Amino acid sequence: MKHKFTIIIMALAAIGAGLATQANAVTFTFQENGSNLSLGPTSTFTSGGFALTASAFLTTGATTDLYAKSQGLGEIGLGINDAARDFEITSSNFIQLTLPTVPPSNFQTVISGSVSGGEQMDVYFTTTPGDLTGATLIGSITATGGSVTVPAFDQIGFIDVTSANNLGNGNVLLASVTLEAIPEPGSVALLGIALAGTAIESLRRTLRARKASK
């Protein structure tokens, strides 16, 4: 009986931890500071109690301006303030996200927008601000709504997003990113205590019922 009781507690703890993690998922759409407007070379976005800073650069190293674009399905996200290229990211510029967020989080996925007709979005990790040189490719996206998962060990530094080529219009958008809050040790402990208490009370009721039936 004790063995079964231990298994029940472990199962409840795993379920509770999973539910807590799902509840702490946060999405940035890059419309948090307004839509269809220039945001300057750097902008900090806030969502779900987290702050994420994005900056815009030319591949030559100079700064340029971010643009929050919202022009219908597949055309919503963060781009570059260049009307000639539909306010999107091209191979001559890139957007850089600063990690960790404030407060720190588990940064998870980068989701693309406006990728079609042979276009490709490349997502890199680097520890060098304002420079793509030497950045490590995390993954490539070839369709609107595609995503790249950021590895757990690439959480301190920068995520760079650029267009890989000039096929089609050669321009893409950073549609959104997702992250998860890092559970506080105290919260996890309280969750475990609560689940254990529930399981113990359930076991006591079962034992009392068995004794009463004898």
Q: End-to-end alpha-carbon separation of the chain, Å? A: 18
Of residues 19 and 24, more confidence is placed in: 24
How deeply is 96 buried, as exposed, middle or buried, from its count of CB atoms within 10 A (0-12, 13-18, 19+)? Answer: buried
Integer Cα distance of 16 and 174 in angstroms: 33
Decide the pairing of beta strands 147-149 and 105-113.
antiparallel
Architecture of domain 25-181: Sandwich (2.60)
Distance from C-alpha of 129 to C-alpha of 114, rounded to nearest angstrom: 26
Does 191 or 205 have the greater pLDDT score? 205
Flag whether pLDDT at 74 surpasses 70. yes
Tokens of 133: 């040189």
CA–CA separation, 173 vs 44, rounded Å? 17
Asked if residue 28 lies in contact with residue 45, where contact means CB atoms within 8 angstroms, the answer is yes
| Tokens, residue 96 | 């850089």
Average pLDDT for 52-76: 97
186 pLDDT band (50/70/90 cuts)? Answer: very low
At residue 169 the predicted structure's pLDDT band, cuts being 50, 70 and 90, is confident
Structural contact between residues 179 and 105, judged by C-beta atoms closer than 8 angstroms: yes
Instruction: Tell which residue, 78, 71, 30, has the closest CA to residue 56.
Output: 78
Residue 204 structure tokens: 């006591």
The percentage of the chain sitting over the pLDDT mark of 90, rounded to a whole number, equals 70
How many Cα atoms occupy the beta-carbon half-sphere of 183 within 13 Å?
16
The mean predicted confidence, pLDDT, of the chain is 85
Write down the pLDDT at residue 24. Answer: 86
Strands 50-58 and 157-163: unpaired
pLDDT, tens digit, for every residue of 87-122?
999 999 999 999 999 999 999 999 999 999 889 999
- Return d(Cα 1, Cα 46) in angstroms, integer: 49
Contacts 24+ apart (CB under 8 A), 3-11: 5/199, 5/203, 8/199, 9/195, 9/196, 9/199
**What CA–CA distance (Å, rounded) separates 68 from 133?**
26
How far, in whole angstroms, is CA 35 from its chain's centroid?
A: 20
